[in-house]
Amino acid sequence: MKKNFLKVTQKGHFFDKKVLVAVSGGLDSMNLFHLLYEYSKELGIELGLAHVNHGQREESVTEEKYLKQLAKDCEVPFYLSRFEGIFSEEAARKWRYTFFAEVMEKEGYTALVTAHHADDQAETVLMRLIRGSRLRHLSAIKSIQPFASGELIRPLLSFHKTEFEDLFHFEDSSNTDLGYFRNRVRNNYIPQLKQENPKIDVALNHLADDTNYIYQALRDLTKDISTTDLVSFQQQTPAVQRVLVEEYLDNFPDLQLSRSQFEQLIHILHSNKNYYHILKNDYVLEKNYQNFRIYKIGPETYSQQKKIVIKSEGIFSYDSYIFSLNYPLKDADWVIYFPTDEPILLRGRQAGDTILVNGITKKLRRWFIDHKIPQKIRQEAIIIEQSDKIYGIVKLVTSDLSKFAKNDIIKATLYIKMKE
């Protein structure tokens, strides 16, 4: 395998100088690290070893210590992160790749290298089939793709696990836990399918490759069409429109629309109305008669200690809510009216806050007590303020000031909706 690995990596022109290797301590990543270390001179690369301790097993501490010593023995930098929060496969994955990206950008690495191999590819395709993923998501895992300040490279995709050298490694006991979907696919579903087709893994990889070719051909054929130009877009056949939208959505990797959400998006693009439509994950579709765009709303914060000043029309994210100034939100949960177009402040509680409700001005603290508002909700309360006056508290109460404005001259309207 060693000679083939060197040949594949040199032919693919995979690496450029500083390479960060993601190492879990399992057989796959240990093989990858040792191969890259052995051929580092031939490939002209400097290595760094990155490890995430998920803290889910007793062996995690031992693995961490071993890999730290391995990096020291090989005289390569060692980077460590310990997972925090509620553990899930998705949460752990996000944590890892966020950590890898931070190391790359801070330390100047040009590539992150992971140990995905041909068996992983077959498992991933089958998992996506079972989940009902769209056809384009059945395409092969890319051997090279942009990532952070450089590239994400998977040089082992053409190799099977049976080809790996039996190096010292740690066995992850969770790999046999059938509570994880991938483990069920690897240990149950694929072995059963091999009874019908002994080369099912090869067939799944071919399906992924064929899907890649189809979508690359479609990209080549539609590259001169402006997707966001609605005049040009609506001149295309419905089939081409769907391909164009799917391709456009690939620009937003953390925006994964379900089939029903995708169909809703297509429906909106066919309409002759202006739209400001919340999609998911803080993304918004903005559409007029000529064109459309999708963008992530901001500014965004998850701390009630921070403040947001809304000075102009638009859609904003704050904590668990979407705020839209002067653009109606469909099915808005609350609406606040203002008599001036002065900036609007979103903030947490402050000492001395008062609010006018039912003709009586009360200290906010007293209003909370009178209405038996739980302490946790008080701490998380979002205050809506204009010109040093409170116009409302999200989800709790609207000030008389907003009601007065509604019955008089409305200069600004703030629509509020909980995130889905």
Span 138-175, pLDDT tens digits: 887 888 888 888 899 999 998 999 999 999 999 887 78
Span 296-341, pLDDT tens digits: 765 433 334 468 888 888 888 888 888 999 888 888 999 999 999 8
- pLDDT number for residue 303: 38
- pLDDT number for residue 298: 54
- pLDDT number for residue 299: 42
Model confidence, pTM = 0.62
Q: Which helix (H) or strand (E) covers residue 389, if one does?
A: strand 389-393
Length of the chain measured in residues = 420
Domain segments of the chain as ranges:
2-203, 224-296, 308-418
Q: Which residues of the chain have pLDDT under 70?
A: 12-13, 15-16, 297-306
Give the CATH class of 2-203.
alpha beta
